[in-house]
Amino acid sequence: MARAALFDVDGTLADTNHLHVITWWEAFRQAGHHVATHDIHHAIGLGSTDLVARLLGDDRDTAGDEDISTAHKVLYATYFDRLPALDGARELLYACDARGWRVVLATSAGGAELSALRRAIDADDVIAGVASADDVSAGKPAPDPVHQALDIAGCEPHEALFVGDTVWDMRAARRAGVRGVAVLSGGIPRRDLEAEGAAAVYATPADLLADLGDLKAALAADAR
């Protein structure tokens, strides 16, 4: 029986993936790199260091990495006062809490960015804790953020589910031994999420909320 619901934030609870794409695109452009937005989109969900490495390659001059990441942070910060929560996100967290699940966020965001996201979601009353970029040495797809979230929730992997929107989320959940549930609101195709082990896929947080009772029963049956 599930005891905890662990959630990614960007693209899962907040409609921010495309803001990240545009601000990363501009950060790369300012540094003299022309990176396709399609490629950036598929890297969203990685931590900054891994995202830059994936998009520019291992043979890049790494001396510029910090400047690119800083430019992205500065550009993205201009949206902090108007980050939009996805429809149904807040209600989904409250519904999970009402079912007795501990709600924990596991995100690559940290600091002021995380604070802005939490304000957008507006569900601090039911968030038991956050495993953020500030708390782990390796971000998703490493299992570290999920392990940290499990520690906060006080449960074992088989007692939790992890809700995310990227292949990196599903891969991290799988590596941590947690069942992954995906949403399409981040713009990643269903087939890619299922290929990485998503046990169920929903269009939006609102759709997951509408099916939460049936999902809970299905996961409980699967655990048996």
Q: Where are the domains of the chain?
A: 4-15+83-223, 17-78
Q: What angle do CA 25, 31, 32 make, to 5 degrees?
A: 90
CB proximity list for 215: less than 8 A, separation 6 or greater? 181, 200, 208
Average of pLDDT values for 144-170? 97
**In the predicted structure, residue 74 carries a pLDDT above the cut 60:** yes
Q: How confident is the model at residue 133 (pLDDT cuts 50, 70, 90)?
A: confident
Cross-strand pairs, 4: 102, 160
**In the predicted structure, residue 1 carries a pLDDT above the cut 80:** no
Confidence (pLDDT) at 135: 82
Q: How confident is the model at residue 82 (pLDDT cuts 50, 70, 90)?
A: very high
**In the predicted structure, residue 94 carries a pLDDT above the cut 80:** yes
Cross-strand pairs, 103: 5, 127
Across the chain, mean pLDDT equals 94
Confidence (pLDDT) at 213: 84
Indicate the burial class of 69 (C-beta count within 10 angstroms; 0-12, 13-18, 19 or more).
middle
Beta-carbon count within 10 A of 137 CB: 6
CB proximity list for 205: less than 8 A, separation 6 or greater? 12, 13, 86, 87, 88, 89, 92, 183, 185
131 near 106, Cβ under 8 Å? yes
Amino acid identity of residue 152, one-letter, is I
The answer to whether the 4-15+83-223 and 17-78 domains have the same CATH topology is: no
Tens digits of residue pLDDT in 21-73: 999 999 999 999 999 999 999 999 999 999 999 999 999 999 999 999 999 99
CATH 1.10.150 fits 17-78, yes or no: yes
* Domain 4-15+83-223 in this protein, CATH class: alpha beta
Q: How confident is the model at residue 222 (pLDDT cuts 50, 70, 90)?
A: low
For 72, the token pair is 């992205």
Question: Could you tell me which of 38, 45, 80 has the C-alpha nearest to residue 182?
Answer: 45
> Could you tell me what percent of the chain has a pLDDT over 90?
89
180's enclosing H/E stretch is strand 179-183
> Could you tell me what percent of the chain has a pLDDT over 70?
96
Tens digits of residue pLDDT in 162-218: 999 999 999 999 999 999 999 999 999 999 999 999 999 999 999 999 999 877 655
Confidence (pLDDT) at 15: 98
For 170, the token pair is 């599903």
Average of pLDDT values for 97-102? 96
Confidence (pLDDT) at 137: 80
Confidence (pLDDT) at 215: 78
